[in-house]
Amino acid sequence: MERIIIIGAGHAGVQLADSLREQQFAGAIDLIDDEGTLPYQRPPLSKDLVSCDAVLPLRAPEFYVRQAITVHSMTAVAVDTAARTVTLSNGKLLDYTKLVFATGARNRDLPCPGAELDAVYPLRTLADAKAVREKLKNAQRAVVIGAGFIGMEFAAVAAAQGIGVSVLSTGPRPLNRALSSTTADWLAAEHRAHGVDVHNEEGVARIENVAGALQVHSTRGRILDADLVLYGIGVLPNTELAAGAGLRIQDGIVVDATLQTSHAGVYALGDCANYPSTTGRCRLESVQNATDQARTLARTLTDMPTEYGQVPWFWSTQNKIKVQIAGLGAPQDTQLVLGEPSTGKFSLALLREGLLVAVESVNRPADHQAARKLLASGMPITAEMLECNTLKELLTLAPAR
Amino acid sequence: MPTIIFTQPDGTATEVELAESTNVMRAAVTRGVPGIVGECGGQAMCATCHVYVDPADAAQLPAIADDEEEMLDCTTAPRSEFSRLGCQISVGAGQSLHVSIPSDQV
């Protein structure tokens, strides 16, 4: 009998198991879950810490039973691609006919003295979220290290609870890597208006425990008092197991357009996979990337080889502001504002060589949805077209997919 | 307890009892009712928890907010005047709600 082993039970692994059954895969499916909880939704954790009281599972417990998906609450410790086996942490050996790495990513550790102190937290897992939430109850001051989505989402949540929040941002502005300068500056102003203190071009030198309270020393010599420090300075793909099995690794597990690794019959997807997009190799960290790659891979694994080519999209919520991104922008892209930012609702088009490549939408979900469809249509869209038409109007001109 | 009755496109119905103020998407996902995805975790970002509310029950629900309104224009299955996002509607004490699940969410 065919047996597909999926290592990792995050959004990618669980969606793949689900989609395989949807594609009528009749063999065995083994899902290896090293977190030991029913697989759950991660995005709400940083956006709404309250949600960790009622964590949302990705699927109901009976789903795994009904779909005959065997969940192993264990870590995979070795893979032998010649023998086609996976060794689990309890010593058990599982045979496979196809293997999928959905091992995700882990937080980059804080590389400074004091990172090991109590009340210095990352924020990725349910356990992290619960610890942070508990600490926040008696906190007056929080320092956020790293001004990416996780850091700024947390900053907004903490500030809304009346906590004094300082952010150390190594870039020229918060969210500098994730968003265009226009949108990032607009959001930074919103955070400041909500009382968040943002320090740009400033990192952490060390953290000290002074009589039970934390002091964060910045690279500019600033000293910030804190009851809690939260860091979000990026992630590292979990590639060690794949590397140990001899798979090619380069910023993630290298896969081809069908998500196959350097070994036949072995695949990777989601946060851990480095794949060839239309604009070059990339490794994306998002729910959409995980679940859409899973849907595509399920087809390939059921004898309908399919190349992955979905338009990436992302979202964030900060101070009840909805930020949605369609496509992949780059710092050198030309920026064109659509709408009026002072109204609190606008989109920003990013153009490369004169053509639309990405759209960031702030409180404009309809723009975002239209942008996703437009980018997927492949229709070339110029600045002139964007100046004369709304995204929705342009969509009526696009060829049907 | 509040009750939600989900009707699948093939006519199969599932009745789910839930804690007060639990939203429809969460009720479906936690109880394993097929056809409601909730990919964004309930933040009105993905429109994959689209349902058609029974016309008789529509009046008991809160009005559609701006962001839900915009997302409803982007559902995979066609929008009707009774379309809602499951993550934005819940059922109060002693109430019941009938919803139909569309053929596609993604």
Domain of B54, CATH number, reads 3.10.20.30
CB contact under 8 A, B31 and A317: no
CB-based contact B74:B68 (threshold 8 Å): no
pLDDT of residue A254: 98
B106 in a domain, yes or no?
Answer: no
Tokens of A13: 């692994």
Kind plus residue range of the DSSP H or E element containing A373: helix A365-377
Q: How confident is the model at residue B19 (pLDDT cuts 50, 70, 90)?
A: confident
Distance CA A308, CA A313 (A): 14
State the virtual CA torsion across A143, A148, A150, A151 in degrees, nearest 10. 10
Domain assignment present for residue B39? The answer is: yes
- What's the mean pLDDT in B48-75? 92
Cα dihedral sign for A56, A57, A59, A63? Answer: negative
pLDDT value, residue A52 = 62
In this complex, the residue of A41, A43, A365 whose CB is nearest that of residue B70 is: A365
Nearest CA in chain A to B72: A366
Q: What are the E-state strand segments in A44-114?
A: 69-72, 76-80, 85-88, 93-95, 98-101, 105-107
Is some CB atom of chain A closer than 8 A to the CB atom of B31? yes
Give me the count of residues in chain A. 401
pLDDT for position B40: 87
Q: Which residues of chain A have a Cβ shorter than 8 Å from any chain B Cβ?
A: 41-44, 47, 51, 54, 56-63, 66, 287-288, 291, 295, 315, 317, 322, 324, 363-366, 369-370
Answering whether pTM is above 0.90, one says: yes
- Indicate yes or no: CB of A60 within 8 angstroms of CB of B67: no
Domains of chain A, first to last: 3-106+236-301 (3.50.50.60), 120-231 (3.50.50.60), 320-397 (3.30.390.30)
Q: B54 lies in a domain?
A: yes
Pairing, β B50-53 against β B3-7 = unpaired
Among B26, B32, B40, the residue with its CB nearest the CB of A59 is: B32
Domain holding B64, by residue range, is 3-100
Looking at beta carbons, which residues of chain B come within 8 Å of A322? Answer: 43-45, 67
Tokens 């990725």 sit on residue: A124
> Which among B39, B41, B67 has CB closest to A44?
B41
Cα B41 to Cα A1, A43, A46, B23: the distances in Å are 35, 7, 12, 11
pLDDT score, position A398: 82
pLDDT beneath 50, residues of chain A: none
pLDDT at A46: 86
- In 3D, which of B20, B29, B19 has the Cα closest to residue B6? B29
Number of structural domains chain B divides into: 1
Domain membership of residue B105 (yes or no) is: no
- Mean pLDDT estimate for chain B: 91
Is the pLDDT confidence value at B37 over 60? yes
**Residue numbers in B near A324 (CB within 8 A):** 45
Residue B51 DSSP one-character state: E
Q: Which chain A residues have a beta carbon less than 8 Å from that of B32?
A: 59-63, 66
Contacts with A326 from chain B: Cβ below 8 Å: none
**Confidence (pLDDT) at B39:** 87
Q: Do A56 and B26 touch (CB under 8 A)?
A: yes
pLDDT confidence of residue A331:
93
This model of the complex carries an ipTM of: 0.86
**For residue A326, which amino acid is it?**
A
**Contacts with B30 from chain A: Cβ below 8 Å:** 56-57, 60
| A69 vs B24: CA distance, rounded Å | 26
Q: Which residues of B touch A63 (CB under 8 A)?
A: 32
- DSSP SS3 for A26: coil
Distance from CA of B36 to the nearest CA of A (A): 10
Q: Which H or E run includes A126?
A: helix A126-136
Q: Residue A77, Cβ neighbours under 10 Å: how many?
A: 14
Q: What pLDDT, on a 0 to 100 scale, did the predictor assign at position A134?
A: 93
Can you name the residues that pair with A281 across neighbouring β-strands? A276
